[in-house]
A and B are shown apart, each in its own frame.
Chain A
Amino acid sequence: MATVALQVGQDPAHVRLVRLVSSAVARMAGLGDEALDEVRLGVSEACGLAIDALGAAGSDAPMSLEFDDTGGLRVTVRTPAALPARHEVPVPADPALEDSPNVAHVLLDRLALIEGLIDDVDVASGPDGSSVTMRWKPESGTAPGK
């Protein structure tokens, strides 16, 4: 296997499907359990980001994913919409409680989580679209499970 490509609609239910495919491809690429968790979460967050971007752009276009297991695993999630500006991804909390006292202001930024979790990430965003590319190296001594 070299490349698996998926085209997925914006239905949040499809993100789980993408996670299942991601897990299978990561195992085939010989990644260990810890990296596999990173793949599932990274891909899930990138899909969430894509859904946010497409929703903000008012686009009903699908997102596309590409998995390449040549020498590890590379996953790219592409959308034809620009990503939301950094630090503007809102916490889905009740806005009426924004000023509630005694709670630290926490802004959950999907990209920040991806970059905090995964060592090798490239993000590109412009008026013509956006992409998030994440890379993992194979675990040393682990044979790909092909």
Chain B
Amino acid sequence: MDLSLDTREQGGCTVIEVGGEIDVYTAPKLRECIVDLVNRGNYHLVVDMEDVEFLDSTGLGVLVGGLKRVRAHDGSLRLVCTQERLLKIFRITGLTKVFAIFDTVDSAVKENPA
């Protein structure tokens, strides 16, 4: 499955619903999406990863890059993920200490500091 990206507004945040595979081929599309949102003034992002089937370090790099972008505007980037196989990757890379990871979009949006 290719990468699918849908965005919507919820509770003052922009929710990016990501589906499919995030790898060395598709990660640039996610990066473009995040860069475009930030350039249009969306600084509080929630990345919903519940439909992500595969994630590699290129995808992690894009998420870290996105976090840096929004932090530069005092924004936030929170993740929604309950899939153990993805959470394992975040733990191995130490990124659980960098990203706020939530079980649901609603709980991620509630934490919106905006």
Contact = CB atoms under 8 A, between A and B. Distances in A.
Contacts, number: 88
Interface centre among B31, B54, B57 (most CB of A within 10 A): B57
Given A100-B68, A103-B67, A16 B92 contact: no
A109 B68 CA distance: 18
Interface residues of B, number: 30
Given A13-B25, A103-B98, A93 B71 contact: no
Contact of B98 (A40, A44, A104, A116): A104
Contacts of B67: 103
Chain B binding surface SS class: helix
Interface string B17-39: 00001011101000100010000
A104 B100 CA distance: 13
Interface of A: 12-13, 15-16, 19, 34, 37, 40-41, 44-45, 47-48, 51, 91-94, 97-98, 100-104, 106, 108-110, 112-113, 116-117
Interface of B: 21, 23-25, 27, 31, 35, 54, 56-58, 60-62, 64-65, 67-69, 71-72, 85, 88-89, 92-95, 97-98
